[in-house]
């Protein structure tokens, strides 16, 4: 069984290399657009709640071209990202919408009702601290060494003072400002000039792109929960299900950051699918350019 480690590691490495090779020939879309404030956050994953007013959703398709978030792109009606699988993406968008509204949202409301705010906040801080390797590694890959140092310092302070359940480090002013949502591998690919490719919607995960899909694989390889024995050694139990359960539970606990924004987006937009797509692309572009 010990021989399973090299083969699975090589498989994962080849998968990432294949993805990078395929992405290198894909042009960046909407590179000419002016950077805007990030209109969408935790739909992608781990970003915290945005400040009030960060999102502007217009109920009519007739919107000014300088608006932060349009239902339609302002450049002659062309979308800001290629969407060749729109029918497929719309199917999963509606699937996710049903799951979110009728399953995830009621479940979170119940969790919110029975769980004190301090407990939920502590779990959210713990999850953010747990994902330190993802942010640290991607800062290094983007040559953001000062930001990587800030992330490392925050991790040490929060881990040693509260095992990560309290964000003690936020009381200290950092040497350089950092994005609260941190850096991820999709941003790193964008930093090195790799475009989105085309838009994708994944079940349960939500909006993404070809680039960010491969980026998510890279993030998973850097998450500590992934290394809870993904390749079991001899006489060692497999804790993969435990890792998935921990990761899913912590992400579910952070669902409160998504609910208000998701409801507003669906209620105000003429076509929520297009609004979500444009919001996602603008948000990710802002993260890459910040």
pLDDT tens profile 51-60: 444 444 444 3
Closest CA to 43 of 203, 183, 207, 186: 207
| pLDDT interval class at 235 (50, 70, 90) | low
Contact between 197 and 26 under an 8 Å Cβ cutoff? The reply is yes
pLDDT tens digits, residue range 32-45? 333 333 333 333 33
Q: Is the dihedral of CA 11, 13, 14, 16 positive or negative?
A: positive
pLDDT tens digits, residue range 144-183? 999 999 999 999 999 999 988 998 888 777 777 777 678 8
The better pLDDT of the pair 126, 39 is held by 126
CA distance 62 to 59: 9
Contact between 275 and 269 under an 8 Å Cβ cutoff? The reply is yes
The better pLDDT of the pair 8, 226 is held by 226
Residues facing residue 199 across a β-bridge: 209
Residue 244's pLDDT is: 77
Assess whether pLDDT exceeds 50 at residue 239: yes
| pLDDT interval class at 66 (50, 70, 90) | very low
Mean pLDDT of 87-98: 94
Residue 213's pLDDT is: 95
End-to-end CA distance of the chain: 46
pLDDT tens digits, residue range 194-226? 999 999 999 988 899 999 999 999 998 898 887
CA distance 235 to 16: 30
Residue 200's pLDDT is: 96
Where exactly are the structural domains of the chain?
A: 28-289
pLDDT tens digits, residue range 253-278? 888 888 877 777 777 678 889 988 98
pTM given for the model: 0.69
| Low-confidence winner among 64-73, 80-89, 159-168, 191-200 (lowest mean pLDDT) | 64-73
Mean pLDDT of 82-92: 95
Residue 98's pLDDT is: 93
Which contacts qualify for 263-270: CB closer than 8 Å, 24 or more apart? Answer: 264/55, 264/57, 265/40, 265/55, 265/57, 266/97, 268/57, 268/58, 268/59, 269/57, 269/58, 269/59, 269/71, 270/59, 270/60, 270/61, 270/71
Contact between 188 and 141 under an 8 Å Cβ cutoff? The reply is yes
CA distance 209 to 275: 15
């Amino acid at each position: 069984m010990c021989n399973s480690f090299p083969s699975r590691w090589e498989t994962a490495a080849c998968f990432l290399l294949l993805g990078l090779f395929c992405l290198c020939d894909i042009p960046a879309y909407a590179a000419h657009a002016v950077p805007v404030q990030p209109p969408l956050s935790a739909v992608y994953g781990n970003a915290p709640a945005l400040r009030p007013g960060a999102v502007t959703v217009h109920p009519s398709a007739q919107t000014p071209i300088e608006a932060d978030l349009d239902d339609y792109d302002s450049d002659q009606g062309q979308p800001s990202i290629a969407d060749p699988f729109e029918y497929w993406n719309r199917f999963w968008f509606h699937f996710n919408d049903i799951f979110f509204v009728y399953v995830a949202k009621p479940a979170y409301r119940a969790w919110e009702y029975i769980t004190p705010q301090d407990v939920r906040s502590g779990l959210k801080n713990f999850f953010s601290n747990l994902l330190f390797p993802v942010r640290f590694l991607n800062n290094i890959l983007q040559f953001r060494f000062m930001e990587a140092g800030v992330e490392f310092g925050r991790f040490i302070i929060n881990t040693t003072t509260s095992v990560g359940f309290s964000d003690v480090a936020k009381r200290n002013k950092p040497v350089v400002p950092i994005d609260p949502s941190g850096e991820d591998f999709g941003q790193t690919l964008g930093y090195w000039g790799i475009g989105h490719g085309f838009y994708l919607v994944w079940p349960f995960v939500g909006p993404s792109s070809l680039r960010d899909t491969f980026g998510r694989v890279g993030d998973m390889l850097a998450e500590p929960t992934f290394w809870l024995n993904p390749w079991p050694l001899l006489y060692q139990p497999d804790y993969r299900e435990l890792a998935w359960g921990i990761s899913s539970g912590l992400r579910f606990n952070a669902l409160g950051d998504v609910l208000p924004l998701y409801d507003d987006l669906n209620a105000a937009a003429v076509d929520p699918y297009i609004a979500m797509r444009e919001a996602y692309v603008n948000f990710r572009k802002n993260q890459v350019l910040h």
